[in-house]
């Protein structure tokens, strides 16, 4: 099922949206062939009003909602988004923009913050 998933600041979980409607809330998810989407108009509104809104999300095929993977391996890249610092999602270690990957693993860390790990195989389409 193709979904859009974003971190819900009020509930401190991820909201899963299908066809524009939130269908569930989850603490973790695996997305196949994710696209990291930032809507420019929503980001502009955040910058103007200094108040966050839903304008950035991961879009792709929902693969699993309760993954139990070891996400400490080096091939997982930390992916972040901060509307005040960049207009795209970035690979945290290099500040390189990332727009898509092969897999994205979304979890909530120990401080109730969203954590996104991605795997991108550059030799695949």
Of residues 18 and 123, more confidently modeled: 18
pLDDT-wise least confident of 38-42, 65-69, 88-92, 106-110: 65-69
CA angle 86, 53, 47 (to 5 degrees): 45
Contact residues for 86 (Cβ-Cβ < 8 A; gap 6+): 95, 97
Mean pLDDT of 72-82: 85
pLDDT of amino acid 125: 39
Domain ranges of the chain: 2-119
Of residues 20 and 124, more confidently modeled: 20
């Amino acid at each position: 099922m193709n979904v859009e998933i974003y971190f819900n600041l009020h509930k401190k979980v991820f909201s899963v949206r299908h066809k524009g409607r939130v269908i569930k809330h989850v603490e973790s998810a695996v997305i196949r062939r994710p696209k990291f989407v930032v809507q420019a108009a929503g980001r502009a509104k955040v910058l103007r009003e200094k108040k966050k809104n839903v304008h950035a999300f991961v879009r792709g095929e929902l693969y699993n909602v309760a993954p139990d993977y070891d996400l400490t391996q080096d091939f997982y890249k930390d992916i972040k988004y901060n509307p005040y610092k960049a207009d795209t999602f970035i690979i945290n270690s290099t500040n390189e923009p990332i727009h898509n990957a092969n897999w994205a693993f979304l979890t909530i860390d120990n401080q109730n913050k969203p954590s996104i790990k991605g795997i991108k195989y550059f030799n695949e389409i």
